[in-house]
Amino acid sequence: MAEVTPQEVRHIATLARLKLSDAEVESFTRELAAILAYVDTLREVDVTCVEPTAHAVGAHNVFRDDAAQPSLGENMALANAPQRQNGFFRVPKVLDQDTV
């Protein structure tokens, strides 16, 4: 297993702004060491014939073609508006004129 010290775990916790108990530091020290040991195992795999990729599976554009379509009419867009005025949503005033 990779060597990880409790001081390193405490330092990482400080950077992450986490407060850990002594029991949590002990637990995370073991868990982090196991994770780093697994990463070391992965480094041993020969990947010289593997082509670099951005995704594990082939990715393609799944979006529809961008085509112009008619927009909603005023009545349909405002159909669920609790209040409307002159073709707009009417909402309560939230700012005074002096604060703008």
Q: Which domains does the chain have, with CATH numbers?
A: 6-43 (1.10.20.60)
List Cα–Cα distances, 92 to 24, 42, 75, 83, 96, in angstroms. Answer: 50, 59, 21, 10, 11
- Per-residue pLDDT 10s for the chain (100 aa) are 568 999 999 999 999 999 999 999 999 999 999 999 999 999 999 989 988 887 777 777 778 888 999 999 999 999 999 999 999 999 988 887 666 5
| Amino acid 8: pLDDT | 96
pTM above 0.85, yes or no: no
